[in-house]
A and B are shown apart, each in its own frame.
Chain A
Amino acid sequence: MASLKRSVDSDPFAANISSKVYVRSTKSGKVQKIVREVYLRQDIPCSSKLCQSCLKATPRDAAGRPIPFVLSEAPAGTSVFTQGHYLVPDTNAFLSAMDLFEQSSAFYDVVVLQIVLEELRNRSLPLYNRLVGLTQSEDKRFYVFFNEFRLETHVAREAGESVNDRNDRAVRKAVAWYGEHLARTKAKKIPAVVMLSNDRDNLRKAKQEGIHACSLAEYVKQLKDGDRLLDMIPETQDRDVIKEKRPNELLYPEYFTMSKMMTGVKSGLLHQGTFNVSPYNYLEGSIRVPAFPKSLIVPGRENINRAVDGDLVVVEVLPRDQWKEPSTKVIEEDAITRNENPDAEGGGDDAVSEKERKALQEEVRRTHSKTTEGHAQPTARVVGVIKRNWRQYVGHIDQSSVSKSAQQGRKQDTVFVIPMDKKIPKIRLRTRQVAELLGKRILVTIDAWDRGSRHPVGHFIRSLGELETKAAETEALLLEYDVQYRPFPKTVLDCLPKEGHDWKVPESLDDLGWRDREDLRHLLICSIDPIGCQDIDDALHCRPLPNGNLEVGVHIADVSHFVKPNNAMDTEASIRGTTVYLVDKRIDMLPMLLGTDLCSLKPYVERYAFSVLWELTPDADIVSMRFTKSVIKSREAFSYEQAQLRVDDASQQDELTSSIRALMALSRKLKQKRMDAGALSLSSPEVKVQMESETSDPIDVKTKQHLDTMSLVEEFMLLANISVARKIYEAFPQTAILRRHGAPPKTNFDELANQLRVKRGFELSIESSRALADSLDTCVDPKEPFFNTLIRILATRCMMAAEYFCSGTQAYPEFRHYGLASEIYTHFTSPIRRYADLVAHRQLAAAIEYEAVGPGVRSRGRLEAVCKNINIRHRNAQMAGRASVAYYVGQALRGKTTEEDGFIMKILSNGFVVLVPRFGIDSLIRLRDLAEPEPEATFDAENYVLTMSGSKELRLELFQKVRVRVMDQKDETSGKRGAKMEFVKAY
C-alpha cells in the first residue's frame, strides 16, 4: 500500500515545503485545527545594496527590472558598531517605542521581519499602520523581509515551545542569517546586524548564539543624541520585579481573566461598556451598558481600578448598600493630589489617599442623610479591561512635582504630567530633560498601569513648544481631537488636474466634460456665504415662470467630478472626513487647489455644478423637481451682510436683488412650514472672535448675529438635502447615505424638566419634537429675554447627536431627523468640506444615471465603515472648533477685566456653574473662592438651592441671574489660559 502522506524522502522538493499547524479559537467559540502549508523559496532578496547574489536572483517586474534594493551600502554606525549596522527590531521594540523609529536623527536601515509585522498587526492596528507608513517612506530605508518564506530563515515550532518563543527564535535566526549572508558579500566594511529587543531572555539567548543584540536603552545610548532619545523609551516593566512585590503593596485589585470576563458578560452577571469619567469629579466614572437604561456609576479610585476614560471595560454591579447618588461635588485631581511625590513607587499604603477618602465620606454621609432612598443609583466596579483606548495625550509637566535638583542636571527624574484633558489621570514620566520641558506643551503616551502604582506610567514623545504660543496650542488641539493636519502627501496631490489653477470648463460643448451636463450659464446665479469664505459650496438662483410659479435652483460644487472614487485623494478625504475650522486656521479635507479654486463656485467664472431645480408655487409648495449635472457661472459672491443690505435697500431694483428677495419670501414660508411640522429651534452659545487683521491676534469677542439671509441659505439647503435624500433612498434603498437625529430618550430630559418644574413651574413635554418645540416656546421669563435662550441651550445639551448612517442599517421610521422634523435627511450641500456630501453626490449621480454605480455606492459594508469614521471625525471637528474658540476667548480676555451678567446653569454642593452669554463661556465658581474661610453651605438638591452662611451670607438658586467679573487666568495645573469668573453679586 502506497502511503497517502507526503513522503519526505521521495519528494525532491520536500525541503521547500513546511507546514504550520495550530489551534484557532474563533469568536463564536469554535475551536479549529488549522493546517497551513508554507512554500519556502530562496529568491527573497536581503535587499542590501552590498549584496550581488540576491540582486541576480531577485524577482523582476514586468519590464524586467529588478525591484530596487532598500538597505544602504554604507549604513550609519554607532559608538559600538563603528562599521555601520542594520537594525532588526522585534515586535516589542515597535510596540513600545514606535516614536523612536519615526525619529529623523537615527533609526535608518531597518529590517522589518514579516513575523514582526504580522504580530504587530494583531497587537495594534494604529502602530502597524505607522510602521507600514515607515516602510513606504524612501528616506527611512525600512525593508520588510519575508523571513517566514525564505528557506534559510524559516523556523518550525518546536514541541512545547510557546508562540512567543518561536517568534523570538525566528527573529534570532533571521539576524544570524543576515549576518552570515552579508559576510559572504566580501564588502570592505560589512555592517553589523543588530537585534533590538527589550526581552531579557531573548537578549540572553542572542548573546549565547553570538548574535549582536541590544536592548533599546543600550542601543540608544550608543547614538549621538542618546540622552534626548532615551526619554522616549517606555518604562520597562520587568515582570519579575512586579512579582517580587508583596501582595499588600499592590494598590489595585487584580483584573479577572479574559475567559472569566467573557463568561460573565455572556451570562449577564458582568457588563461591558465604555468607561467615561465625570467632567466635574475625576474620582467618579460612569459606564453605559446595554442591559440597563441608565448609566452605572463607578465611584472611587479603587472601583475605577486603573480604567482610563474611553477604555472598553467590564464591570460588576456593587451590592445595594453601596449604591449612591451621582456626585454633586466638584473634585479635581490637582486639588487633592497636589503634594504627591512622583518618585514614591506606591505612594502611601493604599490606592486611595487619606484626602480622597475624606471627600468620599462626605458623599456617603450626604447620601445617607437623604430620606428618599429612591435617588441612589446603582454603582459598579471595574473588574477588567477588554481594550485600552490609550492614545497620545497632550499635557505639561506639573511644576510642583519637579524636585529642585532636577531643574539643573541631566539626571533622570520622575515627574507628573498633567494632561490637558481633565478626565485623564496624571501620568508618571521619567525624563532627563525636566529643565527643558518645563513650561512646554508636550506629547506623552501611557505605557502601563500596574497594580502597584497609583498613577499610570508613560513616556515622552515630543515637545510641541512653549505653553500659550499659538503654534503649540493649535497643534495640541489638533492632536487632542485626532485631526489629521499633516500636509497632503504626494500621492494625493498627483490626483489633482494637471492644469492646476489654469483649469477651465472646456469651451467646446463636445468635450467629454460636457457629457450629460446642462448649460445653466445663462441663469442669474449668486452665492451667499460668511465674509471671507473661499470654499464656496453652494449658489442659488430664482426666476419667475410664465405660469406664475417660480423656478428655484440650488447649485452645489461638483466635487465628485474631480475626486474619483478610490484614488489616493478619495481615500485621504474619507479618512479626514471633514474640514476642521479653527478660529485662525482651516484644516482642509481636500487640497487647496480644489477646495478654494476649481470646485469653489467663485463668481464670474464658469464652474461645474450639481444642480437641484424645483418649480415652486408662490406658497412654496413643490410642483416638480429634478437633478442635473450642470455648468454655471455665478454672477456675484455676497457675504450675508452684503446680501442683507442689498435686500433691505429699496432702491436696488436689479434682477439679481429681486431674485434674492423672491428667495427670501419663499424661505420664510418654508421655515414656517418646518416649524409647523415641529422643527426645533435650538440654541448654542456661539461667539465670534475678532482678530486684528495683521497679527491675527484676537482682540474682541462678539456673539454671532443672526441675519435673515442666513436662514434664506439654510432653508434652501435643507430643502435640497431633503429632496436628495428622498431621491437616493428611492434609488438605493439599502445603501443610501443618510443622516438621522434620534429622538432623545426621555430620561435625558428628566433633570431639566424637573428643574423647570421646581424653579419656574413650566412643564416640559417631550412626547414629540413638536410638543417640545411648543413647550420650549412657553418657557419665557418676561423680565429676562435671555432666559428662553438659556433653556434652549440646556435643552440642546440633552439631545442626541445626529449621525450619518447607511439606509440598510435602520428601519424607515428610524430615519427621522428629530431636530429638523423631517422624515428623511442627508448632507448634500457641502461636498468641499464634508465627505458624506461627496458620497451623496456620487449616489445621486448614479441615481440619475449620470454615471455607473460604483462599489462605494452599493457596498453596504464599506458605507458603514465610512459612516462610522465620519461620525467620529465630525464630532471631533466640532469639539476642536469649540476648544479653539475657547482658547481664543481666553487670549482675547488676556489682561482685561470686565463685569458681565451671567446665569447659574448648574448648582453643586460646593460650587456653581455660571454661563456668560456675552462670551459664550461657562465656568465653575467654587465656594472656597467666594470668601476666606470657605463659607458653610447647605445644598438643597431637590429645590436646587445653595444657602451659604458663616463667612458669607448668600442664597443662590438655579437659573438665577448673577453679576460676575470675568478675567483671564492661566490655570497653573492644566496650563490652559481660560476665563476665570469671580462672583460679584446676585440680582
Chain B
Amino acid sequence: MASTQHVLLSPAELAYLHEALSLTPPIRPDGRAPMQFRPLVAETEILPGTNGSARICFADGTEAIVGVKAEVERTRGYHGDEQEEGGEEEEEGGEERREGEREGQGEWVELTVEIPGYRDDDAGTAFLAAMLSEALLADGRFAKKLWISRRFHWKLFLDILLISPPLSYPLPLLSLTTHLALLSTRLPRLKSEGDEDPFFDDDWAAAPYLYPQGTTTTRPPITLLVMAVGRNIIFDPSKEELAVADVVLAVSVGEAATNSASTKGKGKAIGGMDIDSAAAQPGRSLRLLSVRTVDPPSRVTPPGMPNATNSAYGVAVSVQKQPEARTVEAQAVEGVWKAPRGGAKPAVMAALVQKVLERGGVADEVLDALEAVELG
C-alpha cells in the first residue's frame, strides 16, 4: 500500500497545492495551522473481553479499534532444573540479579494490523505493523513489563483494526489508538512468588495497569506523521497534502524517564538533538525512538506539462520524444507540477525531528490530549 490511496488530482491542482503549502506561512487546504492536529474523538475499554482496548475517530472519518489480549507463555531457553543457590548469596544478590534478569524479548509482542480491502500480507500493511511494533519495542522497556518470572512471561497480542476505508495514511491513527489501548491494558495480579508456576488473583478489579497510572514517566510511545514542503513543516497531513509532500517522516517518540535518559536512545536517533538541556522549559522531555521515511505518494503523481512543450498549445511535437521528455522533467517551470525527486535534505530532516521533539510542541500536545481521555 502506498502511503495513501491514489489521489485523483490533476497536475495543475497538485501544482497549486504545492505552491500554497510552500508559502510562509503555508496555507493548508482545510485552513489549519501547520502544527495543528485534526480533532479526534476517543474512548477506551470498549471491548469487555480484552485486557485493554480503545477506539479513535478522526474528523476525516477514519476510525480504528485496537484490542490487547494477554496470554501466559513459558519463556524459552530457561530450564528450571538449576538448583537454588546458597541461601546467603540469594539474600545478597537476589534483588539485584532479578532486576538485571528482567529482560524482555521482542517476540513477546505480536502485532497484527488489518486494513479493509487489503490482504494481511500486503507490503503496506506489513510495513505499518513493523513501524508500530518497532516503536513499541525500541527501548526494551516495554517488553520488560511483560516479565513474570524467569520461566514465564506474558505474551501480548495487539489486534489493530482500521474499520473505515483508509482515506489518509492511517499510521498516526493506528499509533494513537494503540497508545490508548495499551494505557487501558491491565494484566491479572500475580500472587505466586519467585519461579513457581504463576498463579493469579481472580479479581479483575485488582488487576494492575500495564502502564501504572498517575506517573507520567511511563507511557507507550506514539508515532506521528510529519511532512515537509519546501522549508515548511506540516503536521498531521491530510491525503491531499501528502500528495504533494517533498518528504514524509514517521517519527516515534516516547517520554524520557529522566533527563539523562535521552542519551540512552542515541543508537536509534538520527542527528544529535540534545533538546532537553533546557530543563526549565515547560512540557515533558521526549525521546526519539525511531524515524522512518515514508514514500510519499507525490512521487508517483503524473507530471504537468509546460505550455512550451504542450502540443495542444500548437507546439510542434518533435520526432524524438524521449530525450525531450527528459529535459522537460529536468527543468522546473513555474506553475507546472513536477513530482519531487531525490532524498530529503539533511537540514530539513533535522528540522522535522527537532520540531517533533520540541518541548511543549506537537507531540506534547497530543500526549496531553490522550492523557485527558478517561480510562474505563
What is the interface of chain A, defined by CB distance below 8 A to chain B? Answer: 1, 3-5, 19, 21-25, 29-31, 33, 35, 157-163, 257-260, 262-263, 266-267
Contacts and interface: CB of A to CB of B under 8 A. Distances in A.
18 contacts: A1-B41, A5-B43, A5-B46, A21-B48, A21-B204, A23-B201, A23-B202, A29-B197, A33-B51, A35-B48, A160-B205, A162-B203, A163-B203, A257-B196, A259-B192, A259-B197, A262-B197, A263-B80
Contacts of A19: 48
B80 A33 contact: no
B43 A4 contact: yes
B167 interface: no
Contacts of A263: 80, 195-197
Which among A5, A24, A31, A267 has the highest number of chain B CB atoms within 10 Å? A31
B204 A30 contact: no
Interface in B48-88: 48-51, 55, 57, 63, 70-72, 80-81
Contacts of A25: 199-200, 202
A23 B199 CA distance: 11
Interface string B194-238: 011111111111110000000000000000000000000000000
A156 B264 CA distance: 47
B200 A31 contact: yes
Contact of A157 (B57, B71, B203): B203
B187 to A, nearest CB: 9
Question: Which of B46, B196, B201 gathers most chain A CB within 10 Å?
Answer: B196
A29 B199 CA distance: 9
B188 interface: yes
Interface string B139-181: 0000000000000000000000000000000000000000000
Contacts of B41: 1
Given A1-B41, A4-B43, A259 B199 contact: yes
Given A29-B198, A31-B198, 5 more contacts: A21-B205, A23-B204, A31-B200, A259-B192, A262-B196
Contacts of B204: 21-23, 33
Contacts of A161: 203, 205
> Top 4 A-B pairs ranked by shortest CB distance?
A1-B41, A21-B204, A23-B188, A259-B199
Nearest to A37: B48
> Looking at chain B's contact residues, is the secondary structure mostly helix, strand, loop, or mixed?
loop
Contacts, number: 79
Interface residues of B, number: 31
Contacts of B207: 23
B316 to A, nearest CB: 58
Contacts of B57: 1
A30 B71 contact: yes
Contacts of B197: 29, 259, 262-263, 266
Nearest to B63: A1
A241 to B, nearest CB: 26
Given A5-B43, A260-B196, A163 B205 contact: no
A161 B203 CA distance: 8
B211 to A, nearest CB: 18
A259 B151 CA distance: 14
A33 to B, nearest CB: 6
A271 B223 CA distance: 52
A580 to B, nearest CB: 43
Contacts of A21: 48, 204-205
Nearest to A36: B48
B66 to A, nearest CB: 13
Interface in B27-58: 41, 43, 45-46, 48-51, 55, 57
B48 A29 contact: no
B203 A22 contact: yes
Q: Identify the interface centre among B70, B192, B199: most chain A CB within 10 Å of its CB.
A: B199
Contacts of B48: 19, 21, 35
A260 B72 CA distance: 17
A257 B50 CA distance: 30
A262 B51 CA distance: 27
A4 B72 contact: no
B202 A29 contact: no
A257 B43 CA distance: 41
Contacts of A3: 43, 46
A359 B57 CA distance: 81
B46 A4 contact: yes
Contacts of A260: 196
A262 B198 CA distance: 10
B55 A160 contact: no
B55 A22 contact: no
Nearest to B74: A29
A24 B206 CA distance: 13
A77 to B, nearest CB: 41
Contacts of B203: 22-23, 157, 160-163
Contacts of B45: 5
B62 to A, nearest CB: 12
Given A1-B41, A5-B46, A157 B199 contact: no
A258 B200 CA distance: 12
